[in-house]
Amino acid sequence: MYLKVHRIPGAGEVVAACDTDLMEVTLMHGEVEVRISGGFYGTQTATEDEVRGALADADNANIIGKEVVALAVSMGLIAEKDCIMIDGVPHAQIFRI
């Protein structure tokens, strides 16, 4: 999986994670293109434990892919029904308030 933590001064962090096989892929959601790129999801791969740790501490997360979504489900952060499908790929955003 790819992982990147965006730190926003005064606003906290956004954890972005995607499955490895999705990097640099463009998915279609209706007429909208969703580009999965290293600029947002990072350019370094991370272990499952690293992604798990980042998600456990995240107040805001953006995840896409079967593997990373299954991890978030197994952690109790989301339910499968909370995901949307983008071109057959599960996607979820997590917000803790």
- pLDDT tens, position by position, 6-58: 998 887 899 999 999 999 999 999 999 999 999 999 999 999 999 999 999 89
Mean pLDDT score, 79-95: 95
Whole-number Å distance between alpha carbons of 87 and 84: 10
By C-alpha distance, which of 27, 35, 38 is closest to 3? 38
Domains, the chain, with CATH or none: 2-95 (3.30.1860.10)
Residue 96 has pLDDT above 90, yes or no: no
Mean pLDDT score, 62-79: 97
Which residue stretches of the chain are H helix? Answer: 38-41, 48-57, 66-74
Q: Which residues sit opposite 95 in a β-bridge?
A: 60
Q: What is the pTM of this model?
A: 0.93
